Amino acid sequence: MRANPGGEAAFLRIEGVSKRFGSVTAVDDVSLDIARGEFFALLGPSGCGKTTLLRMLAGFETPSAGALLLEGVDLAALPPYRRPVNMMFQSYALFPHMSVTGNVAFGLRQDRVPRAEITARVEEVLALVELSGLARRKPHQLSGGQRQRVALARSLVKRPKLLLLDEPLAALDKKLREQTQFELMAIQQRVGITFVIVTHDQDEAMTVADRIAVMDRGRIAQVDTPSAIYEAPRSRYVAEFIGDVNIFEGRARAVNGGDVMVEQADAPAGLAAPARADGPAAGDAVMLAVRPEKIEIAPGPPPPGTANAMAGEVTEIGYLGSVSTYRVRLDSGKTVVSTQTNRLRHGGGAIDRGARVHLSWPVEASILLRS
Amino acid sequence: MNERVERERRERTRAWGLLGRGSVIASPYLWLLFFFLVPFAIVLKISVAEVQLAIPPYTPLFAWPEGGSFELFAVGDNYRLLIEDSLYIRAYANSLKIAAISTALALLVGFPIAYAMARAPRAWQATLVMLVILPFWTSFLIRVYAWIGILKNEGMLNGVLRWIGVIDEPLIILNTDIAVYIGIVYSYLPFMVLPLYANLVRMDRSLLEAAADLGCRPAGAFWKITVPLARPGIVAGSFLVFIPAVGEFVIPDLLGGSGTLMIGRILWTEFFSNRDWPVASAVAVILLLVLIVPIVLFQRHQQRQREAEA
């Protein structure tokens, strides 16, 4: 679901937007196109500017520079109460003195929607979030998960063109959060509204979003599909932020066909990675990123001369049920993490702590990053 | 042996603990007993006595002459007088009216002040609260006297207004009900502002953002969100102004005119001018009963509030 299919003007275009608070630049020259019906995630650690960007879309902050265009209309001229945009707040911001119905109907009442239609639409949206039986409760009589649903219903009931979700699941416990992620996706597909979600939880972003923008100190580090972000991160920051990764530093020796050969102390036959279009020239300092689950761990050595092969000693084994994590100390002292699925019950018993093991991975598993 | 010593020590500690806890729980009740219930019983006793030229100037409640039998003297005459002479009923009604109007005015003046304080930068707020409390550092009586200087015909207010040419003739404010309203609103404003501020400062501002997000203009959000949520503060502040204002004596006496009929002044006159302690006591007892209604309402409201928050 790439933005801008067929050259049509983007549904939501963020154009060179910056936001400065005094001397602090919270959002720094961000440009993004978001397609209609897309589930888009802004992902980054706290303080990376993702919430500020969302609040500018809602109208609570004014950009210091740049433009926000929704279907070609500049949002800057519209105060929050006129924007065809609704937001679900991290704190939910439910009105404590109103019932569930009162909260959900609030937005429709502002628009002077006829009473009968309000009733029908509130019922419909409460059914969508499975809260029909609780319409008369006050927020303080609800559980955290129920409040979260009321907040979602309240932001959906006006059928906005764009729904903004600020850390919508952060207050839920892990199990409920995972379950709610899938419900959120199902709801988004049913209502067909464009969702922009802000989260610091990479798993959440990977699960729900069609595309993710990873943010770093006010800038966009990378915008891509979850799999592209994971499999082909363009920088060390993105590689390390999403999932676990082993980073090897070395020097490009030669470009051999489609592969770049990299000299690295721990690998006798060197490391190999697919070259990139902007790939490094021989002699450049480079970094290789390898995901732990792509590293094979074996008691015996691979054939001599194999690239991407290393040896070391297992220092720790973390058993996580579905997978086990092995921490292996290489001869240079560097620690490499490898995860193996426990396909067999009590499988992998062959490798114990302290064992001498050999690590290897295919060329395609190496991701070349620039230093 | 050692075990017994240990057990005894533990029991002693427990006994002290119980005593300590008991005294902490008992202290507010003891306070109420000695400084409210006992004095009230004395006032109640005097209110059913008759005036006599003696010290003290009222008849005793009971007598138990030697060889005679126990005799109780209690008369309802004083209470009958309060009902029969319309002066008293008018004074009660007027006190309630003046207190109610003053409370409404104090709310009108106090709400914007409290709202501005709650919205001021965090660093200023402690200073602003201090400034609201600051007048208490000067005697209440002196501050009310100062209003005489401001409001009288040749006072500061008329001087300034005449100087800027708004008026030719001095406004007659002193010794009217208007001066009483000004005095009460001025004196009790902090009791309105502080509970309102405490309430408004706690309000989650994202609620106003949510209201705006859902299409509500700022003015609408004020009436639909801020005011309903400020209700506990409005109720607390209003009672804190209303209850003392009903029995107010100093302000109507110094600023009001001879026609400003308030129950506090009646009480004073009966007690000091007429030296009719029994009628004065009856006035006080009825005043308390009149005030108990709003106090009980206030308590109920507080109770419900606590339950809602729990």
| Tens-place pLDDT, residues B28-82 | 899 999 998 999 999 999 999 888 888 888 888 887 778 778 878 888 889 999 9
Cα-Cα-Cα-Cα dihedral sign, residues A21, A26, A29, A34: negative
CA-based nearest residue in chain A for residue B207: A93
Contacts 24+ apart (CB under 8 A), A23-31: A25/A218, A26/A52, A26/A218, A27/A52, A27/A53, A27/A56, A27/A63, A27/A218, A28/A217, A28/A218, A28/A219, A29/A65, A29/A66, A29/A219, A30/A66, A30/A215, A30/A218, A30/A219, A30/A220, A31/A66, A31/A220
Bridge partner residues of A272 (DSSP): A261
Give the contacts of A252 (CB within 8 A, at least 6 positions apart).
A260, A261, A262, A263, A280, A281, A282, A283, A284, A285, A286
Q: Do B206 and A89 touch (CB under 8 A)?
A: yes
Q: How far is CA B177 from CA A228, B102, B253, B257, in A?
A: 79, 11, 11, 7
DSSP assignment of A251-290: EEEEEETTEEEEE-TT-TT-EEEE--TTPPPTT-EEEEEE
Per-residue pLDDT tens digits for B82-134: 989 999 999 999 999 999 999 999 999 999 999 999 999 999 999 999 999 99
> Could you give the CA distance from residue A30 to residue A67 in angstroms, rounded to a whole number?
10
Residue A93 has which token pair? 């911001």
* pLDDT on residue A8: 55
Sign of CA dihedral A48, A225, A65, A50: negative
Share the mean pLDDT of chain B.
90
Cα angle A52-A55-A58, degrees, rounded to a multiple of 5: 160
Q: Which domains does chain A have, with CATH numbers?
A: 1-84+195-243 (3.40.50.300), 244-370 (2.40.50.100)
Q: Mean pLDDT across the stretch B227-236?
A: 93
Q: Quick one: A288 exposed, middle or buried, by C-beta within 10 A (0-12, 13-18, 19+)?
A: buried
Question: In Å, how far are A41, A53, A57, A105, A157 from A86, measured between CA atoms?
Answer: 16, 14, 9, 14, 9
Q: Say which residue the tokens 């990764």 belong to.
A: A245
Segment B12-40 mean pLDDT:
88
Contacts of A60 in chain B (CB under 8 A): 209, 212
- Report the residue of chain B nearest A82, measured CA to CA: B215
Which chain B residues have a beta carbon less than 8 Å from that of A196? none
| Tens-place pLDDT, residues A289-309 | 999 999 999 888 888 888 899
| Residue A110 touches chain B, beta carbons under 8 Å | yes
Residue of B nearest to A155 (CA): B214
Q: Does B84 touch chain A (CB under 8 A)?
A: no
Please report, for residues A41, A155, A299, B11, the alpha-carbon distance to residue A164 in angstroms, rounded to integers and kept in the order given.
10, 9, 51, 63
Tokens of A292: 């732990």
Mean pLDDT of B220-238: 94
Report the C-alpha gap between A267 and B81 in whole angstroms.
Answer: 110
Contact B213 A86 (CB under 8 A): yes
Given B206, B224, B229, which is nearest A93 (Cβ)?
B206
Position A266, amino acid: D
Domain B77-309 has CATH 3.40.50.620: no
Averaged pLDDT, B200-212: 95
- Nearest CB to B207 within list A60, A95, A155: A95
Report how far Cα B33 is from the mean position of its chain's Cα atoms: 20
Contact call for residues A358 and A310 (beta carbons, < 8 A) = yes
Alpha carbon separation from B139 to B79, B142, B145, B146, B268 (Å, rounded) = 35, 5, 10, 11, 21
How do strand A285-290 and strand A271-274 relate by DSSP bridges? Answer: unpaired
Q: Name the minimum distance, in Å, from the CA of A354 to any CA of chain B.
A: 54
Q: Are residues B216 and A81, on separate chains, in Cβ contact within 8 Å?
A: yes
Phi, psi of A247 (to 5 degrees): -115, 130
Q: Residue B202 has what pLDDT?
A: 93
3-state SS, residue B34: helix
- In Å, what is the CA distance from B234 to each residue of B185, B197, B298? 15, 10, 11
Q: What angle do CA B301, B305, B308 make, to 5 degrees?
A: 140
Name residue A309's beta-bridge partners.
Answer: A360
Q: Work out the minimum CA distance from A86 to partner chain B, whole angstroms.
A: 6
d(CA B149, CA B2): 79
Q: What is the pLDDT of residue A349?
A: 58
Neighbours of A359 (CB within 10 A): 23
Whether B121 has its CB under 8 Å from any CB of chain A: the answer is: no
Q: What's the rounded Cα separation, in Å, for the pair B190 and B198?
A: 12
Cα B305–chain centre separation = 21
* Mean pLDDT of the B150-178 span: 90
Q: How far apart are CA A149 and CA A129, in angstroms?
A: 6
Give the C-alpha separation, A88 to A168, whole Å: 7
What are the residue ranges in chain A where pLDDT is below 50? 1-7
User: What token pair was written down for A220?
Assistant: 């966009």
At B258, is the pLDDT very low, low, confident or very high (cuts 50, 70, 90)?
confident
Nearest chain B residue to A79, by CA: B212
Question: Are residues A257 and A307 in contact, defined by beta-carbon separation less than 8 angstroms?
Answer: no
| Alpha carbon distance A107, A115 (integer Å) | 13
ipTM score assigned to the predicted complex: 0.84
Q: Which residue has the higher pLDDT, A371 or B307?
A: B307
CA-based nearest residue in chain B for residue A157:
B214
Which residues from A are below 8 Å from B220, CB to CB? 110
Task: Tell me the count of A-B CB pairs closer than 8 A.
Answer: 59
What distance in Å separates the CA atoms of residue B140 and residue B145, rounded to the nearest whole number?
A: 9
Question: Residue A172 in contact with residue A145, Cβ under 8 Å?
Answer: yes
Gap from B309 CA to chain A (nearest CA, Å): 8
